[in-house]
Structure 1
């Protein structure tokens, strides 16, 4: 049931049993692309999650090289001119996140897919599943593989847990054969009834052990059950309502925070989902200092971007989910304004 609902949400034919987490799912997706195309290079968006980038680089290092694609500071979107200059016969996949780590919704998916496919590469897209009630799934704009993390699907905060990666593709054999994780499908039983069973068990790391193409575990599978309960409870309308609430509150937060003197929101022309960048450079304060004062008032400030994105100056990444109320946002603005006065 989990696999069926995830495949419906992503508008793909196949979805796997959860892998360790979203970063591992992204790494596996890119290694799948390498095996499918026979190529050894991945082009990754420069506006992606830096922690996820490090995991992917580690995971790909034995078999693939990585190049970073530039992105536009104003729109927050991929620099397609830079992408075009990097596409070559050795590129297996183009990878980007939608929404990006900095919150921008990537609306150039069709162009990116066309460029990748014309160069003989696949397109891999990492998505937030809670956005898919309001944003088209990657399959609709040409993605060959979609991946992500199921944490937003009703899974509570946890110290190092509460995560599980998903990978979705079409049902073509060349894709199915490259999943190292378990897949379940409908199969006839001895009594001519229908049951559920492993699909192509022999391709999994569990069956191949030391000769497997790569390895996955099953410890995240129970989070898949939790995500399935959440999806069944929400239903299609609930997922649409969820996406609308998040976008409306994010838009409101971005507007009112940007009205604080000395504060502005970066990527001004971007349409955002959950995350957005707040530029605090003109306040003359460091993000670390501001966050310390916010914490003393019971508020977690935005993530300091000065190390991973130094080109953004003293900027912070704020995130608004369905758990954040309008009252929470108003209090943040009041306290932040007080700190900066």
Structure 2
């Protein structure tokens, strides 16, 4: 039996109330080319379960699996080794079926896990407090910009040229509905970050400056000077971390004065997926906690003095009046947050530092080897496990040529900045602990052939 709670008259009344002529008007922001005018072409009206399984298996067989070939893709999503125990533990029934603690008094295990997760993220980012996670890094970035506007009562956000273009795109999309002014320009293929330019750009109307650390080209800048300049103008410094393993080797953004630190937690505990699910990380300094989106789990004691956990802060529309909510984020990425927390617990501080050192050493080995190739220039003066090369020709066809040689050789800047002619020869190369010396040599050999 279909559930149809609204009559045609009900729908007409609702549309009239919001000023829409038809339901189609609600989808006007979807580009016309992306809208369907009928059934999807080339699909049968029906098929058996067996034939559908066979069809999709044939499609999946066309993919090149990351673990099967030398793999150097990064730019916001990284291949790390995830211990088998992570997957085993997150599939336990008490974790896998737990959704969200609407009745926290009977969800103590879920709350304790989120409390531990928050503690790990706060320490990793160098902040006082972290929330119970968000959808992913890009939406966490926008939430930080929105939070900065609430704190400062200003509406101008300056985004570093080194911020991942996907994060920029999400921020621009959301800012259309809040009327925040977004200031951003593309990066240049240079060793220096744009920190000095950001310092010059910040003014009295600025709500925040958003900077990625390390940035999209893998460059690492000292945020301390930027933080002082931003604070002098009454603005906030937002740092974005897309590779949290880096913080096992470099100073955390919070220690350098960042007010809000956000990022993508996929590198720790969450394997590469086709776009997700991933886990957004969000932390800030204590004085801003009441403007933080999402939820915050806290530790307390019960009536008998026993340790317990509660939802300390829930500033979302499901818990308080909609006009008072800081965000409409509806849930945390609980299962991915659990995977992150388990992996981080298995590593411990020493393990994370050792993992970071291994990543950096292998990246240095790869950078030195590739920079020896004729016409190839290493852009970076500093990097963690990701760096940018300038090739003597456009990078996109080179990446394709490498793939045809069974080497996934990196992410071309032309893929990320299709309209910027100055970046078409740039290639971002990521190296992790899963990379071997043989993989590096295979990339060097294949790249030499592709450039010949």
Q: TM-score, structure 1 length as denominator?
A: 0.92
| Partners of 1:162 and 1:325 in 2: CA distance | 28
Query: What pairs up with 1:277-316 in 2 under 5 angstroms?
Result: 277-280=388-391, 282=392, 285-306=393-414, 308=417, 309-316=420-427
Deviations 1:173-194 (A, max 9, x none): xx11112201100122122222
Q: Is the 8 A contact 2:193 2:219 kept in 1?
A: yes
Shift of 1:264: 1.5
Query: What pairs up with 1:24-173 in 2 under 5 angstroms?
Result: 24-63=139-178, 64-68=180-184, 73-80=189-196, 82-107=197-222, 109-127=223-241, 128-172=243-287
Secondary structure, counterpart of 2:398 in structure 1:
helix
Shift of 1:219: 5.5
Query: What pairs up with 1:140-219 in 2 under 5 angstroms?
Result: 140-172=255-287, 175-201=288-314, 203-208=315-320, 210-211=322-323, 212-218=325-331
Alignment partner, residue 262 of structure 1: 375
Q: Is the 8 A contact 2:149 2:207 kept in 1?
A: yes
Q: Is the 8 A contact 1:70 1:79 kept in 2?
A: no
Shift of 1:73: 4.3
Q: Is the 8 A contact 2:124 2:252 kept in 1?
A: yes
2:433 corresponds to 1:318: no
2:134 corresponds to 1:23: no
Q: TM-score, structure 2 length as denominator?
A: 0.70
Going from structure 1 to structure 2, the CA distance change for 1:336 and 1:290 (only over 3 Å counts) comes to same
Secondary structure, counterpart of 2:320 in structure 1:
helix
Deviations 1:216-250 (A, max 9, x none): 13251210000000000000011101111111111
| Partners of 1:272 and 1:91 in 2: CA distance | 29
Alignment partner, residue 124 of structure 2: 9
Match of 2:441 among 324, 330, 333: 330
Which stretch shows the higher mean deviation, 30-39 or 271-280?
Answer: 271-280
Shift of 1:301: 2.2
Q: C-alpha root-mean-square deviation of aligned residues, in Å?
A: 1.8
Going from structure 1 to structure 2, the CA distance change for 1:112 and 1:253 (only over 3 Å counts) comes to same
Secondary structure, counterpart of 2:263 in structure 1:
strand
Shift of 1:72: 6.4
Shift of 1:69: 6.2
| Partners of 1:113 and 1:232 in 2: CA distance | 31
Going from structure 1 to structure 2, the CA distance change for 1:47 and 1:31 (only over 3 Å counts) comes to same
Q: Is the 8 A contact 1:19 1:220 kept in 2?
A: yes
Going from structure 1 to structure 2, the CA distance change for 1:71 and 1:297 (only over 3 Å counts) comes to closer
Deviations 1:78-115 (A, max 9, x none): 241x32432222101011000001101112x1110010
Q: Is the 8 A contact 2:407 2:443 kept in 1?
A: yes
As a proportion of its length, which structure holds more strand?
1
Structure 2's unaligned 5+ residue stretches are 1-115
Going from structure 1 to structure 2, the CA distance change for 1:318 and 1:227 (only over 3 Å counts) comes to same
Q: Is the 8 A contact 1:71 1:79 kept in 2?
A: no
| Partners of 1:313 and 1:215 in 2: CA distance | 38
Shift of 1:135: 0.6
| Partners of 2:186 and 2:266 in 1: CA distance | 28
Structure 1's unaligned 5+ residue stretches are none
Q: Is the 8 A contact 1:69 1:83 kept in 2?
A: no
| Partners of 1:338 and 1:73 in 2: CA distance | 24
| Partners of 2:202 and 2:433 in 1: CA distance | 39
Shift of 1:16: 0.8
